[in-house]
Structure 1
């Protein structure tokens, strides 16, 4: 996908915008990190937002680390051996960071230009010289500044897991040891910058007394790395928020421990808690103010609140299980198949969650005032003289009815996504623009435009949009706060269904996809083609199907009935 989930444009200027993760919102001081990237050029903004995202994630991680250690009792004094270990750990960390920078080519692996990479490298080399001069001057005079003390305290927390009392007599010794480590490290890094080979020493062993510390990464640290990687490569803001929230609940339920310390018992304990809580449990009045999953589950069970559905339980287990699948490929110590087989067995088909619309419901939907004449766009449910053939509320249900496309896929269509090949007009469902999102790779596909849509004037709408030089096919349908176009329209469509008497527990916009499947089967369309048209087959874009291939195979014969 081109674009970045945190890139946001306002009045032609691009911004970085990220919601503060739910697990730290209460103490972070604000709900989002939004600031101007000071450019109107998309390509430049894309480079800048990647850098900004890393910096903002570091702020989030630093805040989490601070919260995690707040409850720990402070250490009053360090032994001489611990102070020496601190210096060795600090030296290792500086070289390890330098390794990290070089492995990524100073931005080359992120796709930065040679000019940008060269500038980053020169700035980095200048920083080496500046740090060396500063710390040599302080070390020569035995100078310890308050900022040096703060850095040493933070390093002790971050690198050794020691919360040292700021009044400890060991603090000054730790600062001086850190100065020595920085000087040694900057010398080594400066030699590397000139092409000399300097090996990074292994991470020094830390004294186990009184700070027993596993060499295996903590779950919370691994989750941080996982979420940061996924947010940069595939997740949108909503997906990141869901995964972070439920991983935090998992950690709170079974504890934050080294990865190799978890077993299937932990997965079962988490599932047991999930099976007792209601959907949107924080919104239930008796559970408001409870932040811990196990406490909410216990209270919900005690007062008899209806639990969430088995499918929702499995969805959350999938969120957490996806972390452990990722971790298996990253860390040798990760237990294998931790969440395999943990999901609840559901006998009914996925389709059973939603019904197709009945013929009477379809007639009610497409004979509503929106299609026969309404008073205005605002009063779409009242009869009148306006048939809003330029509006998204008119076309989006029709397109899904005759294509099986998902709501979000339709709303985010660009004018340029309506194409023609060999006399066949078709929709290109893709995620090539920054604000377009698809469910999976199979969702990239070509869908011939049904003759009924053409008869109703769909291609005329496209021509009007082209004449207006519009980018989006339905510019009247705005994006929701969660970054999805489908969120506001989903609320509208549920109101619409209620207004025409077509709303049941198992009907929603998704019901159009089931109607489309039924029409495919009734007209002899193969399952392979039906799956490809709907974006959940195995071929997807990689299968090489063209609009002509799809059209000639029979999909154009689909009828409204």
Structure 2
């Protein structure tokens, strides 16, 4: 547990904040003999915890004062030195107490059925009114004890430092006394079946509405860091490191564009202006960002974070809701899967001797990753992250296990895929025999880079550059993802059913029913064997 700098008695354990304080020896009897008090504040950020800390400090000090026989006011004055209350803040606090008092009484106290109990409750309400009036009337020496207790409790809850006997204290006591009288008159009317009558306009319904509006205005004026919102959102969602990296970059771009980091100040016009800038500004390569990139990446990040923040009460509303990107869809000039010639060009190149400058792992990746992608339709990084222990023989069927434990899997779900007989004929399983750990990169060469750009992803980028160098340079076909598109085409060509080919590639089931149960490896093996083998001549 680590102390929070600048705050007495405030400590952090993990992401939770705690009140922690040693108990003086002469007061431990009041704390069941404890030497120290530790209590979770149920909050993870200091802005939320400050108010709760003040209450715990006040409660602790009051117990110490009671144990030592000191006036309670001594404890109240220690809450938050220097924090004063304005007249309107005192009125708001008393109005809040009044509504809670009447609600509690309506739900519990006003239920007697015996006439004697009803009369006793009535008499008690009237007696308290007289007692309170005497304590706040002209020339009164001391307020009623119930009024004093209420004033102390409100000071503790709000963190106010108000000296007993001061003019501000008398103002609070008189206001509370009027609130007590108002509450008792309402409860007496309810008890007698009469209509409630308002005696003090400070407790009128319109005053409560003004309190609510002021609270909204105050909340809107409190800065809400977009970076902090993103941190909370990412922690809740547990996104992949690569995704997290992109989201941080987009939030940083938005903050830089605005010139501030306050989500409460963001308006619809700000989001629209940012969208227009994104569409106009060139990328590092000199081209403009595509409509799809702006819509599905940049705007999607802002909209998701703000939607989460609004849904969790961090901001009043989502200023990015409804912001759209117009324009025509980019025309599709060709299929995004490799043609027969392109596939043959890449696979033939895998059989040529690799340059000596490549590491053994890069040589292995160049030789086998394109073939495995061709026969499984997997994402390239799902293969570049493979470990030797992920290649298994299950009941006579050689398989690869694609799992988030090894790196990134888009939907976070592991799956097992059978290896095509052609891969076995080429000796893939024999090539990796005796190896352990990652097959296509060496963890010992890790240079401490970002988790958002792991080694297996760099291997995929290396392969993409190599494919372009081989001669598959059409910008309309992705250099690695082209295998994924081609697999779907080849699977349809041999009559593989949709449910099986989606399971092999890790696509989301089309219906709720398809999501039930597992896809047997025997079924996958039978489907994989249907795929037409690539006839590539060796060097």
- Normalised by the length of structure 2, the TM-score is 0.55
Instruction: Tell me by how many angstroms 1:559 deviates.
Output: 1.9
Given the alignment of the two structures, is residue 458 of structure 1 paired with residue 458 of structure 2, yes or no? no
Matches within 5 A, 1:417-496: 417-433=390-406, 436-441=407-412, 443-465=413-435, 470-476=436-442, 481-483=449-451, 484-496=454-466
- Cα deviation, residue 546, structure 1: 3.6
Contact 1:429 1:446 in 2 (8 A): yes
The structure-2 alpha-carbon separation of the partners of 1:335 and 1:535, relative to structure 1 and needing over 3 Å to count, comes to same
Residue 511 of structure 1 deviates from its aligned partner by: 0.9
Deviations 1:183-218 (A, max 9, x none): 9854646899xxxxx9983688xxxxxxx9832475
Q: Indicate the residue corresponding to 1:128 in structure 2.
A: 21
Gaps of 5+ in 2: 26-45, 64-152, 161-215, 535-539
Could you say which residue in structure 2 is the equivalent of 1:82? Answer: none
Q: Is residue 331 of structure 2 the alignment partner of residue 361 of structure 1?
A: no
Shift of 1:453: 1.0
2:306 counterpart (311, 320, 324): 324
Aligned partner of 2:529 in structure 1 is 556
Q: Secondary structure of the residue that 2:218 maps to in structure 1?
A: coil
Deviation at 1:402, TM superposition (A): 0.8
2:538 pairs with 1:538: no
Q: Residue in 2 aligned with 1:20?
A: none
Give 5+ residue unaligned stretches, structure 1. 1-50, 63-89, 111-120, 134-157, 161-177, 193-197, 205-211, 285-304, 381-386
Higher relative contact order (CA 8 A, sep 6+): 1
User: Is 1:378 matched up with 2:372?
Assistant: no
| RMSD, aligned CA | 4.7
Cα 1:214–1:389 shift into 2, 3 Å: closer
Cα offset, 1:474, TM superposition: 2.9
Match of 2:128 in 1: none
The CA distance in 2 between the partners of 1:503 and 1:310, in whole Å, is 23
Q: TM-score, normalised by structure 1?
A: 0.53
Taking the aligned partners of 1:389 and 1:455, their CA distance within structure 2 comes to 22
CA, structure 1 residues 222+560, in 2 after alignment: closer, same or farther (shift >3 Å)? same
Report if the CA contact (8 A) 1:216-1:259 is conserved. no
Check conservation: 1:448, 1:547, Cα contact below 8 A: no
Which entry has the higher C-alpha Rg, 1 or 2? 2
* Distance of 2:523 and 2:441 partners within structure 1: 28
Distance in 1 (alpha carbons) for counterparts of 2:502 and 2:270: 37
Indicate if the aligned counterparts of 1:431 and 1:438 stay in contact, CA closer than 8 A.
Answer: yes
Kindly indicate whether the alpha-carbon contact (under 8 Å) linking 1:253 and 1:270 is maintained by their aligned counterparts in 2.
yes
